[in-house]
Amino acid sequence: MHKFTPLFALLLFMTGLVHARDPATEVDTLMARYQGEVPGASLLVIKDGKPVVSRGYGYANLEKHEAATPATNYRLASVSKQFTAAAILLLAERGKLGLDDHVRHWLPELPAEHEAITIRQLLSHAGGLIDYEDLMPADQTTQISDADVLRLLAAEPRSYFPPGTSYRYSNGGYVLLGLIVERASKQSLQDFLADHIFRPLGMTHTLMYVHGGPEVTHRAYGYSEENGQWTQTDQSPTSATRGDGGIYSSIDDLAKWDAALYDHRLLSDASRQLAFSPQNKVIGETDVDSYGFGWRIHGDVRWHSGESMGFRNVIIRWPKQHLTVILLSNRNDPEPYSTALAIGEHFLQP
């Protein structure tokens, strides 16, 4: 038997039998841009159900010098879509609606030209609806509500393609899904999510924020870099819509969400299979083969990003390897997908 001497250790390293550094030690290097007196980020890596990295970097609030931590709550932006999709799936399981219901059954305000669109098609971005952002007045300064989005789409008979024939990412479609949740459940969207998803999973600091409702605790404020200076850019005219992006959460709470996606504590096996299976083919997008219900699909990876004024977020899951990376940031740059992907690759099994 070899005696484990420093020279033998060096030989093992040189032959690749011993790695010089643990994967977790590489994380800070990859997260360097978020460190210091700058808008920051919170990072979570979960492997086999256990957090192997859970860290905050930089500031959640520059003006008050409040550090970002694992408990900091960020505006999730489009990462919220997976929760809206889950709400629809829960209602379908309970017989309150059908995935193949026509959207106009629940939202008769929409024009007859949209009669063929189904809930299933909105979930997978196959509805073809015109982007509501393109229907807003160019000089819009006040925040638009979900009811405003419905009014804009109700007055717009055009579509990009016949429903079910193509793919186009649609924030408006998910706003409509949130309104359908309300009409089918007879609860506000924020109350339905709290009662049927957040509280049952113990996500006690997660909420869908609405003006006049409960305030966001441990809140991160969004920033954008302008001329070398960070300026708070926390809200925009589209920051008040809900079903497409209105949730605030932390990596601490999202760890509980991630755990629930492996079993039937929230959704049935059939519902989770629908959410994570290809429902609509995506062409021309990097690292996206198809879209499920609230999730992008690329090979064995399930992921989603979220971007709004001053926030850039991503969740990437490798379900077969029981690995998840969640990176939430309160800044307009960098886009975090490539960073989170590089972090995840350090923990993947060969």
C-alpha 344/C-alpha 325 separation (Å) is: 6
Q: Which residue ranges form the domains of the chain, and what is each CATH number?
A: 38-320+330-345 (3.40.710.10)
- In 3D space, the residue among 324, 189, 175 whose CA is nearest the CA of residue 197 turns out to be 189
334 cis-preceded (ω within 30 degrees of 0): yes
pLDDT exceeds 60 at position 19: no
Give residue 241's Cα distance to chain centre: 15
User: DSSP 3-state assignment of 164?
Assistant: coil
Each residue of 272-311: pLDDT tens digit?
999 999 999 999 999 999 999 999 999 999 999 999 999 9
CA distances from 224 to 204, 232, 237, 252, 308 (A): 29, 6, 16, 25, 11
pLDDT exceeds 60 at position 4: no
End-to-end CA distance of the chain: 28
pTM of the model: 0.93
Residue with tokens 């339905």: 192
Give yes or no for a contact between 117 and 162, defined as CB atoms under 8 angstroms apart. Answer: no
Catalytic residue numbers, as ranges: 78
Each residue of 57-110: pLDDT tens digit?
999 999 999 999 999 999 999 999 999 999 999 999 999 999 999 999 999 999
Assigned token pair, 283: 């062409």
